[in-house]
């Protein structure tokens, strides 16, 4: 079966080509079937190869497949090669699995849009690009997928391109991502310069030999790669595109801007973990950026009123958690959170889509309320997701988030401050999630009468994916229970062969083995659960039982509230510091350099020739005799000249 690895990205590509080339000529049903079947086929093959990989002994769990040489150019040899190891196996399962569910959901969501063909074409192209990204066996091929998902993200954010805000958001996402890609590219160049290969296997083998651990070169490479990751995975300072990306259709937000594409940065760092282990300073930067982003985005999410924006900032915050995990060298915890997050965040987004659908395209939570009794399935599934993301014990988010918190405390790269930031963020997360739940599903019905009449539960193709994801959100974390629960952490062991020589492992094992530290782990766990419960209680008080309290608090801290509501004025700041000067500089280049200097030179030389010709053309009188006279004079002069000589 592993020989058919290339079929995994190929099926969505076929779906893309069929739907794309026959755009507008296929009936809706056929388009739906092609789109979903291609992803389903990729999912089935992914499951098969996963089990095949699992059957191998842990230390040889690598399946490589080189299709052909893509760029043979001197020492630069780039293959179209696929690499399946425990890390990419997890990724393809998540991508195809969640992707399949969201494709099915999209059938119902996009049912009233005339552009369904274009939508599914882009979605399949995205699946192809994403699978290329995670299956590539070298940096350059990965970069193809990396750019491909960026392109699809742009196309799908601007899917409703007739809306100016949507096409602007698409452009913003693309441009911000380009800034990150620049860092990724430079990092890739330096790697090739130093190692002479772009293949992951070669680079990871050679890295400890070529680079000095902790040296400035490897640190530079890792930081440059991290710049790429901050762009794609929406971290400070390049996170600004993600909240705006909510202009796209909700399934797109769920698939691309929550579950899969935005986690590409985390995946890339986990993939290159050998390099990062050689650069502790870069790891430190990753951890700090992750922690700050997690906290920063969570505070913004507290005050947003648009249901999708709350979720967008929540995504940024959760991605921060993943980077925090990577930054404390606990890559498997980061990937674990990536997986559980893709379940519950996809569920939250799809649930939000269902709410928006029921509310006749209303996204403002201030005009919702009391929806719980009208759309029960959506309510229950979203409640499950909220409990999961908050980290209630038993739900998957609890295991992954707790693992990150514990690792950020106990890892040799960790620090109690990281734990404190993560801990506070966990409380904020629970608060804003339940604020969302209470504002949307509980309390007074604040919508107008006409919208109220139209409230209805979504169709089966939308509710069934919700239920599947709800189940996954609950059980998905059970494969990665912590050691102190007396079970083996399957997920961590599964990823062990990929992770750098287990250099962090002995530390955490030793800590786990020591009696006092087990107590510590229990204690920290209990503390975070307690904080979450308190936060939920506060959210309930503020937004359900005593709404006047929320208003009073908002008045009392109106300054802070304004700052948060306006997202710390970061967009305005970027606008003033980067965009505005750039526009002024571009205007200078346009009006002065281009129009005056370059055009002036070109037009000026033409004007000179025109003037000279204007006076010279008078010589041509058209009179034959004057020509003959001039000719004779010329001959006389010439003859005179030669005779004189």
List residues near another protein by CB under 8 A: 617-618, 620-625, 628-629, 632
Angle at 38 between CA 149 and CA 54, to 5 degrees: 85
Task: Kindly report the three-state secondary structure assignment for every residue of 526-587.
Answer: HHHHHHHHHHHHHHHHHHHHCHHHHHHHHHHCHHHHHHHHCHHHHHHHHHHHHHHHHHHHHH
Pick 555 or 623: Cβ nearer another protein: 623
Q: What is the DSSP string of 385-405?
A: HHHHHHT-TTSHHHHHHHHHH
CB of 594 to another protein, least distance (A): 35
CB of 639 to another protein, least distance (A): 12
Pick 548 or 620: Cβ nearer another protein: 620
Q: How far apart are CA 346 and CA 262, in angstroms?
A: 12
CB of 604 to another protein, least distance (A): 25
CB of 618 to another protein, least distance (A): 8
CB of 575 to another protein, least distance (A): 58
Q: How far apart are CA 384 and CA 407, in angstroms?
A: 26
Chain-centre distance of CA 312, in angstroms?
Answer: 11
Pick 112 or 625: Cβ nearer another protein: 625
Pick 450 or 610: Cβ nearer another protein: 610
Pick 24 or 622: Cβ nearer another protein: 622
Q: How far apart are CA 188 and CA 178, in angstroms?
A: 15
Interhelix angle 416-441/515-540, rounded to 10 degrees, is: 30
Q: How far apart are CA 277 and CA 410, in angstroms?
A: 17
235 with 318: CB under 8 angstroms? no
CA distances from 346 to 37, 67, 95, 151, 403 (A): 20, 33, 11, 21, 21
CB of 606 to another protein, least distance (A): 20
CA distances from 397 to 166, 338, 475, 518, 574 (A): 32, 10, 10, 21, 33
CB of 624 to another protein, least distance (A): 5
Pick 75 or 619: Cβ nearer another protein: 619
Reduced to 3 states (helix: H, G, I; strand: E, B; else coil), residue 163 is: coil
Pick 559 or 622: Cβ nearer another protein: 622
Pick 417 or 640: Cβ nearer another protein: 640
CB of 611 to another protein, least distance (A): 16
CB neighbour burial string for 43-74, b if at least 16 within 10 angstroms, e if fewer? bebbeebbebbeeeeeeebbbebeeeebeeee
CB of 642 to another protein, least distance (A): 17
Pick 164 or 618: Cβ nearer another protein: 618
Residue 569 zone, left/alpha/beta (φ > 0; ψ -120 to 50; rest): left
Pick 590 or 631: Cβ nearer another protein: 631
CB of 628 to another protein, least distance (A): 6
Chain-centre distance of CA 542, in angstroms?
Answer: 32
Residue 214 zone, left/alpha/beta (φ > 0; ψ -120 to 50; rest): left
Reduced to 3 states (helix: H, G, I; strand: E, B; else coil), residue 65 is: strand
* 237: preceding bond cis by omega (within 30 degrees): yes
CB of 625 to another protein, least distance (A): 6
DSSP 256: I
């Amino acid at each position: 079966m592993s020989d058919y690895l290339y079929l995994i990205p190929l099926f969505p590509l076929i779906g893309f080509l069929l739907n794309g080339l026959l755009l507008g000529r296929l009936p809706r049903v056929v388009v739906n079937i092609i789109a979903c079947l291609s992803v389903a086929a990729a999912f089935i093959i992914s499951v098969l190869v996963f089990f095949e990989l699992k059957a191998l002994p842990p230390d040889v769990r690598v399946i490589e497949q080189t299709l052909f040489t893509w760029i043979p150019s001197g020492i630069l040899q780039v293959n179209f090669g696929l690499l399946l190891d425990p890390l990419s196996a997890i990724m393809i399962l998540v991508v195809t699995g969640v992707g399949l569910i969201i494709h099915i959901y999209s059938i119902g969501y996009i049912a009233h849009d005339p552009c369904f063909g274009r939508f599914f074409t882009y979605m399949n192209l995205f699946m192809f690009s994403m699978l290329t990204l995670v299956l590539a066996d070298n940096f350059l091929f990965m970069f193809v997928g990396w750019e491909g998902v960026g392109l699809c993200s742009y196309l799908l954010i601007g899917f409703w391109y007739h809306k100016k805000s949507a096409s602007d958001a698409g452009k913003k996402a693309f441009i911000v991502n380009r800034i990150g890609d620049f860092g990724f590219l430079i990092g890739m160049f330096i790697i090739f310069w130093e190692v002479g290969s772009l293949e992951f296997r070669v680079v990871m083998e050679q890295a400890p030999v070529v680079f000095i651990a902790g040296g400035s070169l490897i640190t530079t490479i890792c930081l440059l790669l991290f710049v790429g990751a901050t762009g794609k995975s929406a971290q400070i300072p390049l996170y600004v595109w993600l909240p705006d990306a909510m202009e796209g259709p909700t399934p797109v937000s769920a698939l691309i801007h929550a579950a899969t594409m935005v986690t590409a940065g985390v995946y890339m760092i986990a993939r290159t973990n050998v390099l990062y282990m050689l650069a502790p300073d870069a790891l430190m930067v990753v951890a700090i950026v992750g922690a700050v982003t997690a906290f920063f985005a969570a505070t913004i999410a507290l005050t947003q009123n648009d249901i999708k924006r709350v979720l967008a900032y929540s995504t940024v915050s959760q991605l921060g958690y993943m980077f925090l995990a990577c930054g404390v060298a606990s890559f498997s915890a980061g990937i674990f959170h990536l997986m559980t997050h893709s379940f519950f965040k996809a569920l939250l987004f799809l649930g939000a889509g269902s709410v928006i659908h029921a509310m006749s395209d209303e996204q403002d939570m201030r005009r919702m309320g009391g929806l719980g009794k009208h759309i029960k399935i959506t309510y229950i599934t979203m409640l499950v997701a909220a409990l999961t993301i908050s980290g209630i014990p038993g739900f998957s988010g609890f295991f992954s988030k707790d693992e990150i918190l514990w690792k950020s405390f106990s890892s040799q790269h960790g620090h109690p401050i990281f734990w404190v930031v993560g801990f506070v963020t966990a409380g904020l997360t629970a608060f804003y999630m339940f604020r969302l739940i209470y504002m949307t599903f509980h309390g007074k019905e604040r919508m107008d009468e006409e919208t109220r009449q139209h409230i209805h539960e979504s169709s089966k193709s939308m509710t069934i994916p919700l239920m599947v994801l709800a189940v996954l959100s609950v059980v998905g974390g059970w494969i990665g229970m912590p050691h102190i629960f007396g079970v083996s952490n399957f997920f961590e062991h599964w990823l062990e062969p990929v992770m750098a020589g287990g250099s962090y492992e002995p530390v955490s094992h030793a800590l786990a083995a020591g009696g006092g530290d087990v107590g510590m782990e229990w204690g920290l766990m209990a503390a975070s659960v307690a904080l979450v419960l308190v936060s939920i209680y506060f959210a309930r008080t503020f937004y359900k039982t005593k709404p006047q309290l929320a208003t009073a608090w908002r008045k009392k801290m109106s300054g802070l509230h304004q700052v948060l509501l306006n997202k710390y004025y970061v967009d305005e700041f970027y606008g003033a510091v980067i965009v505005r000067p750039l526009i002024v500089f571009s205007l200078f280049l346009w009006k002065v350099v281009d129009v005056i200097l370059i055009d002036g030179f070109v037009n000026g030389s033409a004007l000179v020739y025109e003037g000279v010709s204007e006076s010279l053309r008078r010589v041509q009188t058209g009179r034959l005799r004057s020509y003959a006279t001039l000719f004779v004079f010329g001959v006389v002069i010439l003859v005179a000249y030669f005779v004189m000589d």
